[in-house]
Chain A
Amino acid sequence: MNFLNQIIQGVLLGGFYALLACGLSFMFGVMRIINLAHGSLAILAAFLLMGFCNYTNLSPFIGLLLVLPVMALLGWALQFTVLDRSLRAGPLIPVLSTFGVAVILDNSMFEVYGANSQSLGPNIGNLAYNSWNLTNTISIAQLDALVFVTAVVVLGGLQIILRYTALGRTIRATASDPAVVDLIGVNARMVYAAAAAMAMVMIGLAGAFLAMRNSFDPYAGGPQLIFAFETIVIGGLGSLWGTLVGGIVLGVAQNIGATISPHGFLIAGHLTFLVVLVARTFGGRIAWRALLPKRAAS
């Protein structure tokens, strides 16, 4: 029964990972950039939200109405200051420049907010600890359920936007060939900026829920980047619903690992990532099928 509980909690954790990963996955799908500042940006959103809550004493959910647009603006700015220039300089430069952004963000947040662990748990009242008890040993925290539902809504919403709106079609076209869409009058840089802004809204949401579920500190971005990355690799890079599957697999593996040893949580997660990688590499299937642009935006 305890084992079943671990799996259920792992699935719920997977919802959070899917939410955390979809910004990274989306940015990769559209711009072919692995944004190494992804985790640090989520932590930045968490600190911004904390600043808002401490200043106004309002709920973090109201704070999101302000923080998410700010994150979108930051994404827009990031595209025109860092990403655009990096993209034009070849495949290696985005890796270097986004790592530079991560180093700057982490240490600046440390300078501003100090080393203390923070949490928004106290700011959301009952939601932080209320849960539905299914049996004596299995209970589902309401916050976890909310995160899971949010992840599904965000992934589904993204799918609808990409498939049925003009913006979505433009983004998909740009993802498959930025040079060609330029020829037919689409400004690829603006499309990238819109994509970066959308990704940052998702990152902001993930950061907010991270702050409500757990504690966070200025250097917590690195592990979040790793979890997000493992999620999209396990789920198949570039596939949106694969992201949800990847998150669930990672979450379940970590929770089962945690029952085995105190370090088991992280070790099991990393090992699962490597096993998937080995299986893809030597399992006969060409992993890079998943990277083809038309699937990337579907």
Chain B
Amino acid sequence: MATTSYRVERWTRQSRLFAVIIALVLMVLAIGPFIFSADITDRLTTLFVYVILAAMWNAMAGYAGLVSIGNQVFIGLGGYFLIRLSDAGVSLYPAVVLAALIVGLIALPVGELMLRLRGGEFAIGMWVLAELSHFLVNLDPVIQGETGTSLTALNAYPPVAARNDTYWVGFVLMVVLLAVVFALLRGRVGAGVQAIRDDEVAAASVGVKVHAGKRIMFVLAAIGCAAAGGVWLATTISFQPGTFFGIQWTAYMLFMALVGGLGTFEGPIIGAILFFIMESWFGATGVAYLIGLGVTALAFSLFLPRGIWGSVETRLGIRLLPVGFSLRLVNPDGGRDRD
């Protein structure tokens, strides 16, 4: 019997094939407005927003162990700064990005404070932050309290152009943010934050910079959620603080990330698509639909905490977009894989 050697690989044949498929899907989506109807274009923009939100929530909860029930603070502030920037004369789509960056800047000192909280305390602490921001935004006379205001800059665009441009901005932001998450997870930061999620004390003891890792994920999520809030505002036009700072966003984000698969790259995307489909089928049933979301989220957290994709990954060993490494045992005689 020959000695067994091993090979460490990141890209498998499977994941290379999948990367090609992804590239094709992205190419089709990139020219979406030319081939889809107006209705589909609108709905896909909504889906992009959901994918961004799910991926950002997962970046915090799934990778850095930061479960927040107040990420709507970033969505709301993203919308608010977009209103203020576009009122100040910044053209609409650059303002979406700029607003997101401003929220990221605010998240830096805020994160210093919130990241001292642990577990459930961090979760509610974030909600307090969302409520506080909600009331402070209400104090701004431009917003007119709960009545809200409209993104008047959109009136300058013909409806078709506004729909298509919002679609493209949403699409580009989604791709860029997912690419950033992907790149982060494959690098030193990714290994670090995944270690934090698994065991914070142990991670710190082997030299992982726990605080720095959490801070990166926190600020990234702030920027991403704010960008999603901006795109959302560009699709709905009216900014009502109660809706933008509402706790229902957390229910959606938690559902998407948890059902799709916390701590996997692909999971939240699958979760967002599932949520999108469920919303179009059952959204009209209102309260019953929300109860259904709650029951599903509870069931997954109790019985399938790894979510759909997490379970598929562990059972079948599939890695579509590899953020980790896999180890293959190789028999040097036959050169065949023995796994």
Contacts and interface: CB of A to CB of B under 8 A. Distances in A.
Interface stretch (A10-18, A45-53, A88-96): A88-96
Nearest to B198: A90
Question: Chain B interface mostly helix, strand, loop or mixed?
Answer: helix
B75 interface: no
A28 B290 CA distance: 27
A103 B294 contact: yes
B132 A107 contact: no
A96 B293 contact: no
Nearest to B295: A104
Given A34-B121, A107-B290, A278-B113, A263 B139 contact: yes
Interface string A77-114: 00000100110011111111101111110011011000
Interface stretch (A123-131, A153-161, A269-277): A269-277
B297 A99 contact: yes
A102 B127 CA distance: 14
Of the listed residues A86, A96, A225, A266, the one surrounded by the most CB atoms of chain B closer than 10 A to its CB is A96
Interface in B117-171: 117-121, 123-125, 127-129, 131-132, 135-136, 138-139
Contacts of B125: 229, 233, 277
B54 interface: no
Interface string B230-272: 0000000000000000010011001000100010000000000
A108 B120 CA distance: 24
B25 to A, nearest CB: 30
A110 B294 CA distance: 14
Contact of A100 (B117, B136, B298): B298
A28 B117 CA distance: 14
Contacts of B293: 103
Nearest to A89: B305
A107 B123 CA distance: 21
B128 A95 contact: no
Contact of B124 (A34, A103, A266, A288): A34
B301 interface: yes
B257 to A, nearest CB: 9
A267 interface: yes
B287 A110 contact: yes
A222 interface: yes
A226 B301 contact: no
Given A103-B293, A274-B128, A86 B247 contact: no
B135 A267 contact: yes
Contacts of A35: 120
Interface stretch (B61-69, B87-95, B185-193, B322-330): B61-69
A230 interface: yes
Contacts of B291: 103-104, 107-108, 111
Contact of A230 (B119, B128, B254, B287): B128
B73 to A, nearest CB: 12
A281 B291 CA distance: 38
Interface residues of B, number: 42
A104 B254 CA distance: 14
B180 interface: no
B305 A93 contact: yes
Contacts of A194: none
Contacts of A90: 305
A233 B295 CA distance: 30
A139 B15 CA distance: 73
B251 A226 contact: no
Contact of A225 (B65, B124, B139): B124
Contacts of B298: 82, 97, 100-101, 104
A270 B138 CA distance: 15
A95 B62 CA distance: 13
A97 B302 contact: yes
A281 B116 contact: yes
A208 interface: no
Nearest to B262: A92
A22 B139 CA distance: 33
A270 B251 contact: no
Interface string B283-303: 000011011011101100110
Nearest to A100: B298
B124 A92 contact: no
Contacts of A82: 298, 302
A36 interface: yes
Given A95-B67, A270-B132, A278-B113, A229 B287 contact: no
A35 B293 CA distance: 19
A84 to B, nearest CB: 10
A281 B113 contact: yes
Given A89-B305, A96-B301, A277 B135 contact: no
Contacts of A86: 301-302
Contacts of B250: 99
Interface of A: 28, 32-36, 82, 85-86, 89-97, 99-104, 107-108, 110-111, 222, 225-226, 229-230, 233, 237, 261, 263, 266-267, 270-271, 273-274, 277-278, 280-281, 287-288
Given A95-B67, A95-B120, A96-B305, 5 more contacts: A95-B69, A103-B251, A263-B135, A267-B136, A281-B113
30 contacts: A34-B120, A34-B121, A89-B302, A92-B61, A93-B305, A96-B67, A96-B254, A96-B301, A97-B301, A99-B123, A102-B294, A103-B291, A103-B293, A103-B297, A107-B290, A107-B291, A108-B291, A222-B127, A226-B124, A226-B127, A230-B128, A233-B125, A263-B135, A263-B139, A266-B131, A266-B135, A270-B132, A277-B117, A278-B113, A281-B116
The 8 closest A-B CB pairs, nearest first, are A34-B120, A100-B298, A103-B294, A104-B294, A270-B132, A96-B301, A100-B297, A97-B301
